[in-house]
Structure 1
Amino acid sequence: MNALFEHILVPYNGNLDSEKAFRKAMSLAISIGAKITILTCLEERHTFGFKTKTSKQEFEKESKLVELQHQKLKKLAKEHDVSCDSKIVKNGLASIKILEFADKHNVGLIVMTKTKLASHYEKQHYHSTVENVFRNTSCPILIL
């Protein structure tokens, strides 16, 4: 077994593509005995720049939905004897949070999906999370 891929990180935003990335990570984890961490980045949305009771309630509601999604994925991993953990991080650019987590937790592989085909203009001015992670990570990345 290669110690390089003992820990696989799957950035997860709840869409079908991120679930596809999780399933691919799980099949890899089964074959090499790796553990998986699911990471979701959530933003607190402020009303007119102010943190209000409503914005806090919306964030808590969204967090609970994400926790339910994580539980579903962890149950699936457990059925296949794959060690799986999850983490929700709050506020910040998703690519930066992914990179920080990967460095801090000795991640051996990041598995992500590129979901959107961008125009030339978008590619020049608005880099995607996947692209930012790809350009700045110190570990291998599998992009589906």
Structure 2
Amino acid sequence: MRWNVMGKYSGDIALSKAWDILTNSPNSFLIDVRTIEECIFVGAPWLKEIGKETVHMPWRLFPNMEINPHFITGITKIVPDINSELLFICRSGARSGEAAQNLAEHGYKYCYNITEGFEGNLNNKYQRGNLSGWKAANLPWRQN
């Protein structure tokens, strides 16, 4: 199933559409672009129940948050098929949007940004993780 035939950045998608693609398209990948530290301390999507594994490849590196110079080569080693559907997730949707656009510019045809991210928006107490995002949607995740 293809969601975009243009071969360019495919745009932002909601969690429900992302889950549908991951579940129904065998050539789809979830790429978590958060730092290793975020994944360890906050948790990460868990795709075992649909027979997949989340690809962890930070777009920006801690502590200075500079762009990872090995991002493109890392993704192309893990997902060499430019026709794969790549779904990018970060904390709240900003870094994943940058990463999706970058991969599209490097020839990948189906690059999507999951808008709510893993933790979603801040609530009225300035906390993430319970208002929106992967965790709040009760999609499968785990914490190390």
The alignment's TM-score, normalised by the length of structure 1, stands at 0.41
Higher helix share: 1
